[in-house]
Structure 1
């Protein structure tokens, strides 16, 4: 089977390419070769390439940048998936679309998680575009998998862990303050790619949550990471209001993989276990500022 993969150079897309390439033929055009915001180019590409599955990992994922570039975020995060969904429907293909925990407002009482059928109410432009992208997919094709994830980290691209590491490595940095009132489930991009493969392998359709088991605050996440990296710098808790950002983040980003578990397909381990494996594999490379080559 043939998969058309968009966003293959990104944090998740690169892992999907790695995980899927042994069992599927992967076509992974770059942004210049396939502009998903162009309906004509999307339709032409699907017609010429004839994929069985369209896996959309392309997105403007910098949450704060989306607040400043709202039109660009709308084009990439909503118009792009809409075009891909329309192309999938025209040629009777299935689309796999990646969504986000940020479609929820985070006001559910902790530690209650969000389920697949909970109402959405995003706080940020990014969250709004991901909510609208889900609607665009559902309204334009009958065959889809929508996968919601959050707090994704990996060896490629920018991530919370890399930002923490860069701060900790600064020469005159005496301590780091990290918000302790935002709660979620750190999720390794490689493991998420494996979970996506499970859904594709089993020819599933529908909406799924896919995050690591367990939860923590960003403060706890940063502290655990730096301790495992053997970097000794004080990590101190602070409130979100003490660290204002252009985009408002939900306080509760815990997603429950209920549908995966009901179908016996959940492979996501506890977040600490995966983070330990990630550090064992990539810790030295992260300290050198290197990314994995493909």
Structure 2
């Protein structure tokens, strides 16, 4: 039985990856509170001690507001630490699985068609810039890797780094509060992306690691929506009676630049025969569960 290390197994994505893979592989969990990928000595010592065949890294500095303020930590965790992981994985002959983001795009203000893996990245905030730098480090230094760009993640476990566990849970809370107070709720109409349950990304990981088709992949559900349209669907499924008002992103006074369009095309996954479902039925299943 192959041994897999999951870095960040207590996080939103790591939790579902562990759940999907635990029946087939020996899983060693390295959680955020006792393992820091930015500690080079710890990374080398721990991974060499465990000696896994596969290392799955879900750790990231993904609070976009904080990235703009604490630029040093953003690059340390999202970029420089990938050199430590790449070097150590090479030494123990392990495959590295790492996750990037649709936010490596956004600079093309006229874009309205999904980005493919071969399209030129153009991030417009520190988070995206630091994640793209991490991609470049892996591509240059890691011998065996899967770098998977994801988008709009939500999962049952939730994320530790934000006020709300994920966008879905945030909209449910805001929607129910607005319904109770008989108030209208603003939602951005000018951000188009694809929202994805973490369990669907975990299923892709399970399929990819059975291959040696290393490289960069997009892994998102089919279809796209604005945040406004996605929120409408949540309220429709849950029968939350609230009036959404479409607004521009600037209404919320964000502290970082946001892409107006960051939908990803799963071209390379499709070439391997790996298909992902449309975002609507999986959202319904998530809410039902």
TM-score tier by shorter-chain length is over 0.9
SS in 1 for 2:233: helix
Match of 2:161 in 1: none
Of 251, 256, 264, the match for 1:247: 256
In the alignment, structure 1 residue 258 sits paired with structure 2 residue 267? yes
1:183 aligns with 2:160: no
Residues 108 and 122, structure 2, Cα contact 8 Å, conserved in 1: no
Tell me the TM-score normalised to structure 1 length: 0.91
Work out the CA distance in 2 between the residues paired with 1:248 and 1:100. Answer: 15
The residue that corresponds to 1:162 in the other structure is 169
Shift of 1:109: 4.1
Residue 152 of structure 1: how far off its partner (Å):
1.0
Q: Secondary structure at the match of 1:45?
A: helix
Q: Structure 2 unaligned runs (5+)?
A: 159-164
In 2, the alpha carbon distance for the partners of 1:173 and 1:247 equals 31
Aligned to 1:86: 87
1:242 Cα deviation from its structure 2 partner: 2.1
Q: How does 1:148-227 map to 2 (within 5 A)?
A: 148-157=149-158, 158-170=165-177, 171-172=180-181, 174-227=183-236
Distance 2:227 2:138 in 1: 31
The answer to whether structure 1 residue 57 and structure 2 residue 32 are counterparts is no
Q: In 2, are the aligned partners of 1:167 and 1:173 still within 8 Å (CA)?
A: no
Report runs of 4+ in structure 1 exceeding 4 Å deviation.
none
Deviations 1:82-119 (A, max 9, x none): 21111111222110110000001252645311000111
* Rounded Cα–Cα distance in structure 2 between residues aligned with 1:89 and 1:11: 27
Unaligned runs of 5+ in 1: 282-294
Contact 2:57–2:97 at 8 Å: present in 1 too? Answer: yes
What's the RMSD between the two structures over aligned residues?
A: 1.4
Contact kept, 8 Å, 1:182 with 1:250, in 2: the verdict is yes
Deviation at 1:216, TM superposition (A): 0.8
Task: Tell me which moved more, 164-173 or 227-236.
Answer: 164-173
Contact 2:10 2:32 in 1 (8 A): no
Partner of 1:290: none
Partner of 2:246: 237
CA distance in 2, matches of 1:207, 1:120: 13
Between 67-76 and 181-190, report the one with greater CA deviation: 67-76
Instruction: Kindly state the Cα deviation for residue 241 of structure 1 after the two structures are TM-superposed.
Output: 2.2
Q: Which residue of 2 aligns with 1:46?
A: 47
Q: What SS class does the counterpart of residue 23 from structure 1 fall into? A: coil
